[in-house]
Structure 1
């Protein structure tokens, strides 16, 4: 007789903050049989891969951390990237996760076994393992996106993407071109402009840039966090700021006047920082604040006052052996930096591996047919025992840490319930998924994304179907739903005990 064994109860794909937060939540809830798998050689996800000059969080540090593991030693209100990387390593050490992580391992494919209620996971190295539950925690800022510009293969200088920064390249005295003016570029440009001989910034769409309330962490804030209730107060104020500047302003655009106030602030910041009226006009967004994610910087805009910095707004026609060509000009560069972001709502990124659910249905094919959707951003019908931390209609614009804790609350309610019932299969019902999807669509009327001007934003929020798969609700509502969704929205089923046996190492056994 041949029977398949379960190597682990849970496999978590990703060892960034989504994976770390999921693993900590599992341990606290008594689910100790899990493994984390990551293709990197260290933890931190985005904060492991992204090490470019000037990298820092874009929301206050008080919010960019787990609520249960708040740090008092951030050096700035907006912490630099190296401190986030160190925070990830600290959490892994404190919660004893290091022995549970397999580094340098890339998941290629996962297939659900309908007969045995388990996932068969395969790596690019040909290894295989099985698990009862599979959790995608790979995040969305994972796969760098390169622009489709003719001639890239002919470039003889140095070319790199911001997410794979080459610290062996000395930019001093170099002619540098940077493609893109998104969140990464806004941090890099002020850092490298003083040391390069020339910097050409190729802009397709200007970004809303607001002043950033950043500074070295004030002594009064450090003292406050040491007082009873002080840590709670600083985090509450930070969370309120984050909630006001994105979730509320984006999802309740027609109800709250926050966006108009933000636009006035952004335009005033632009007038104060940029001297040349022509350049100022080129840097002025023509779309509503919130159509794409805005950025906060006190240094980006004024960098364009420098004599060695050029803003190029004409489209790039080709990359040549020694530069970039637009319709009217050729810019010679020694180093070309791609600040072109990530494949956020595109195929191959969410998740980063091939998922085949019940009956062999491929997840990307299901989404192509039904549009991007997932019940509460966690589950998709037809894909039992598979959960995502950042799925379609899961993220509402708050801190990723807030999202991670909400989604793990949802997942753990399911796992606990399955354990009580001795169930081995958990699947969201099509009816519940359809209800949630229609609810999200019905809330579009109050969101900023559906203003006519958003067509000019070139925003990664929009998928290929023209949808914006963000969770259209406030953070308090999303948190309440994670803890109170109706368990009847899922079907639970059990196998006979003899049909699946856990074994610590073997994949199959023959008797």
Structure 2
């Protein structure tokens, strides 16, 4: 037990936690700690190491705006490069020294008498801090499917978040469960090694071609010497991804609905030219609107199913036996390796990722599930003073996590700047401001593809357990960032 009072505790050493730490240092705070359960920084880019791992947003866009990297090897960089970028940024802004790894946070509780957060760690240690920031990300708690008999499987089971690079897949009989964004990257790589690969698909995905290429050395030198050129390219890629967002969101407007159909037509043509077998193509065709799930980009995913050693099984899984998988149609496939590309417990375990108790004993996770998932500007919550959640409802902005982080950093700058100006020590968003914001988000989301389109069968992680699409903030990135710098300070009680 420690009696030292820290300025802040940040939970999570991924890009969200690094961004929050940089912002704290900009505002003059030095006495804070960043806690992470893993043995190094990087968050999801440290945990995920599966074959084919790469960013699905151009790296000209997938980076902090204030810290462009002129050395990306290609337009869609690999996971190793993204992880190295995280390390480079942490070192440059001197935040690594604040990090404590292999540290599991069990929970945090607001002490109303002393007005500090008590953060409990595994092993009994406790920390006290004025401010609590959870930057645990949206993809931190892996999902292991509850399939009858899975515990009896005698072969090797590998989850994509715990990839074992020492395990030799050459000549193996492999089954992959899942066809989300991770699987779209992984499956073509597994097909190169496995003697036999069976993909168990619950929900088909929309896949569009990806324009990817190595970045020539002269271009890298230009980016390094004239950073404005890289920012100009980023402006272009930002606009393209913002366009994708609007195509998906503005579903009630006729123009965007037609553009949505056009986007799905691109995926249909991609599927047609990649897969000539009509029955197989039908199995790979989604029955929900483009945009209900995050758009997926690949030049090899559809084509891999035409290989003789790759098989698509879409009837569902009945159960698993020690030596194979039995499908709902009665077919049994013998395997020796089972790969789980089954994603994350987004709403069940990630939001929030730890138990957080606010004023009057309010449990954040329980309150969200008993009422509705909500957070003012995707950052703060009533009854939780001095608390910032960087992985909360309505937090995700654009199709780029860095937009989210930098938007939240601006929110912090305005809020903490006012705190310093007043000589205050506590803040809490008002219930009225939170209710108004929730009402506004609900109305905007009502015009989106999530509510106005056909998303019933998409099984999209955008939807919370109540059937509301509360992950994305349904506004333009530029507008959201402007609001983060101009929201009414009267929306907070500052004392």
Q: Could you tell me how far 1:31 is from its partner in structure 2?
A: 1.6
C-alpha contact 2:23 2:412 (8 A) present in aligned 1: no
Q: Could you tell me how far 1:412 is from its partner in structure 2?
A: 2.4
2:494 aligned partner: 492
1:170 equivalent to 2:180? Answer no
C-alpha contact 1:210 1:269 (8 A) present in aligned 2: yes
Deviations 1:86-112 (A, max 9, x none): 111111111112211010001101000
Q: Point out the more displaced range, 413-422 or 92-101.
A: 413-422
1:44 equivalent to 2:45? Answer no
CA distance in 1, matches of 2:204, 2:71: 35
Q: Could you tell me how far 1:394 is from its partner in structure 2?
A: 1.4
2:199 aligned partner: 201
Matches within 5 A, 1:436-455: 436-451=437-452, 453-455=454-456
Q: Could you tell me how far 1:221 is from its partner in structure 2?
A: 4.1
C-alpha contact 2:142 2:344 (8 A) present in aligned 1: yes
1:308 equivalent to 2:309? Answer yes
CA distance in 1, matches of 2:78, 2:252: 35
C-alpha contact 1:244 1:258 (8 A) present in aligned 2: no
CA distance in 2, matches of 1:311, 1:131: 52
Q: Could you tell me how far 1:228 is from its partner in structure 2?
A: 6.2
1:336 equivalent to 2:338? Answer yes
2:108 aligned partner: 110
Q: Could you tell me how far 1:397 is from its partner in structure 2?
A: 3.2
1:504 aligned partner: none
Deviations 1:51-83 (A, max 9, x none): 000000001000110011100111110000000
Residues 451 and 311 of structure 1: is their aligned pair in 2 closer, same or farther, counting only changes over 3 Å?
farther
Q: Could you tell me how far 1:115 is from its partner in structure 2?
A: 1.3
1:375 equivalent to 2:391? Answer no
CA distance in 2, matches of 1:221, 1:427: 47
C-alpha contact 2:252 2:452 (8 A) present in aligned 1: no
CA distance in 1, matches of 2:3, 2:326: 58
Matches within 5 A, 1:116-195: 116-195=114-193
1:501 aligned partner: none
TM-score by length of 2: 0.96
1:298 equivalent to 2:292? Answer no
Residues 228 and 94 of structure 1: is their aligned pair in 2 closer, same or farther, counting only changes over 3 Å?
closer
Q: Could you tell me how far 1:250 is from its partner in structure 2?
A: 2.2
Deviations 1:318-339 (A, max 9, x none): 0110111013200111100000
1:22 equivalent to 2:24? Answer no
Q: Point out the more displaced range, 453-462 or 175-184.
A: 453-462
Deviations 1:162-212 (A, max 9, x none): 111111210000000000000000001111102110000000110000000
Q: How many residues align?
A: 488
Matches within 5 A, 1:449-488: 449-451=450-452, 453-469=454-470, 470-488=472-490
- Larger relative CO (CA 8 A, sep 6+): 1 or 2? 1
User: Unmatched 5+ residue regions in structure 2?
Assistant: none
C-alpha contact 1:389 1:408 (8 A) present in aligned 2: no
Q: Secondary structure at the match of 2:269?
A: helix
Q: Secondary structure at the match of 1:318?
A: strand
CA distance in 2, matches of 1:219, 1:431: 54
Q: Could you tell me how far 1:125 is from its partner in structure 2?
A: 1.6
1:72 aligned partner: 70
Q: Secondary structure at the match of 1:455?
A: coil
Q: Could you tell me how far 1:238 is from its partner in structure 2?
A: 1.1
C-alpha contact 1:17 1:44 (8 A) present in aligned 2: yes
